[in-house]
A = this chain, B = another copy of it.
Amino acid sequence: MEESRIRSAGLPETPNRIERHSLHDAILTRLRDMIIEGELAPGTRINEGQVGAFLGVSRTPLREAIKFLASEGLIELIPSRGAVVKKFTAKEVRDMIDVIRTLEQHAGRTACATASDAGIAHVRALHDQMIGCYQRGDRLAYYKLNQAIHSAIVALADNAALADVHQLLQTRLKRIRFIGHEGPQKWAGAVAEHEEMIAALEARDPDRLAAIIGEHMDQAWNRVQDGLEG
C-alpha cells in the first residue's frame, strides 16, 4: 500500500509527498519548514489548492494545519481571503527577543536552583557537540544545536508552560535566525558566550547566568539586525 493514494497530476516532479502516519503532524511540520526555510516567503498568500496539490493532500487537513499554525502566529488569517505567511517587522523581532531573554533568564535562575547535575551535564554535552560543529565550520548543525541548547536550559527549569511559550517564540524567530549569518568573529563571540553560560550554570550562579543570557540575547539581536539590513 505504498503509493496507492492521491496522485496530483501535473505538478513538480519531485515527490514532495508526505510519509508519516498522521497527516496532521506531517503537514504541520512540512509547512513550518517551508515557512522557516523561506520556501513560503513572508507575505505570501497560501493558495489551498496549489499547496495541497504540492503536498499531495486535500484541502481539508491542510486547512486544519493552517489554522493550527495561525494560532502559533506563523500565519495570518484574513477573512474570506485565506491565509498569508506572517511578516514580522523589526520591532516585532526585537520584542520577541526581549521576551525570550526574559524567559531564558527566568529559566536559568530556576535551573540554577533546581536542576539536577545530570541535566546540567547533558547541556554541557550538547555544548561540546556544538563546539565540534564550530570547529568543523558546520553552520547548519551548529544552528540546530544552538537552539537545542537554549531549549535544554529552559527544560532544566522543569516548567511546561515556560517551555511552551519559549518554544512558541523560538519557532516564530526561526526563519529570521535562519537568515542571520554572522561573520567569523561574531560567531566566535557567540561560542564564548555559550561557554560562559554553561560555566555559570555549572557553578549554579543565577545572577551571572542571567547576565550572560542577557548579553547573549543582545548579541542575537545585533546579528539578526545585521541580517535584516543586509
Contact = CB atoms under 8 A, between A and B. Distances in A.
Nearest to A72: B71
21 contacts: A20-B79, A20-B80, A21-B79, A22-B79, A22-B80, A64-B67, A65-B67, A67-B68, A68-B70, A69-B71, A71-B72, A73-B164, A92-B160, A95-B160, A95-B161, A95-B162, A98-B159, A99-B159, A99-B162, A161-B169, A165-B168
A24 interface: yes
Interface in A158-216: 159-162, 164-165, 168-169, 172
Q: Rank and list the top 5 A-B pairs by shortest CB-CB distance, nearest first.
A: A71-B71, A95-B159, A165-B165, A21-B79, A96-B161
A68 B20 CA distance: 20
A77 B21 contact: yes
Nearest to A19: B79
A106 interface: yes
Contacts of A22: 79-80
Interface string A72-100: 11000101100000000000100110110
Nearest to A164: B73
A14 interface: no
- Copies per assembly: 2
Interface of A: 17, 20-22, 24, 60, 63-65, 67-73, 77, 79-80, 92, 95-96, 98-99, 102-103, 106, 159-162, 164-165, 168-169, 172
A73 B163 CA distance: 13
A159 B172 CA distance: 15
Contacts of A96: 161
Contacts of A24: 67, 77
A168 B164 CA distance: 10
A3 B118 CA distance: 55
